[in-house]
Amino acid sequence: MWGWGTIPMYEIAFQQMGYRVPFTDFETAVFGHLRVSPSQLHPNSLAFLRAFEVTAGYF
């Protein structure tokens, strides 16, 4: 159940992909640039963002 002021999200993003709220600065910047909320992106897109951020942090 969700109500006013909440954003529905895929459960898989939090249960298996390790996403936590609040989102990182990079993720927030991508959402702002695309002008979308996290719930509007497919879970594979969220996984790609996460993988890119981890890889960029490694290098």
Q: Which residue ranges make up each domain of the chain? A: 11-58
**pLDDT of amino acid 56:** 93
The rounded Cα 31 to chain-centroid distance in angstroms is: 8
Who's near 2: CB < 8 A, 6+ residues apart?
A: 8
- pLDDT tens digit sequence for 1-45: 556 666 666 677 667 766 666 788 888 888 889 888 777 888 788
How many Cα atoms occupy the beta-carbon half-sphere of 36 within 13 Å? 11
**pLDDT of amino acid 52:** 93
Cβ 7 vs Cβ 40: under 8 Å? no
Distance of alpha carbon 31 from alpha carbon 58, whole angstroms: 22
